Amino acid sequence: MSINRYRNTTIVINQNVEYQDIISRRDMNSIAHFSFDRFNLDDSVFASLNFQPHIWTSSDRLFKLAHHYYGSAGYWWVIAFINNTPLETDISVGDTMFIPTPLEILLSAMEI
């Protein structure tokens, strides 16, 4: 199974004032972000998945969870998507993360 999360992406050049400090420190003119299409998953997809709860610890990282549960760190974005947490900084110690399985059903529904 290939990892192709960049399939339908657009690169967005960001010069927003909120990022000016980072842009200045890195001696750059802008920051490039990937813009992703939203996945629209219907209830039948969620009904066919199991969700393994995982309590976030200080040593957890999304890529580590993906490697543990899926055998590939590259699927970190699946866990982030399902938990609506695009950044690890949005997750606090003690938060419950839900790991969807089987991965193949979810990827198939996302057409990846």
pTM: 0.67
DSSP tag of 5: T
Distance, in Å, from the CA atom of 26 to the CA atom of 57, rounded to the nearest integer, reads 31
What are 31-47's pLDDT values in tens digits? 877 665 556 778 888 89
Average pLDDT of the chain is: 84
Q: Are residues 90 and 50 in the same domain?
A: yes
Q: Are residues 109 and 70 in the same domain?
A: yes
**Could you tell me the residue range of the domain that residue 9 belongs to?**
1-37
Q: Are residues 5 and 54 in the same domain?
A: no
Q: Are residues 47 and 79 in the same domain?
A: yes
Q: Are residues 31 and 82 in the same domain?
A: no
Do residues 51 and 65 touch, judged by C-beta distance below 8 A?
Answer: no
Q: Are residues 32 and 46 in the same domain?
A: no
What are 48-85's pLDDT values in tens digits? 999 999 999 999 999 999 999 999 999 998 999 899 88
Q: In sequence order, what are the residues at sequence separation of 6 or more whose Cβ sits closer than 8 angstroms to the Cβ of residue 15?
A: 23, 29, 30, 31
At 93, give phi and psi (nearest 5°): -55, 130
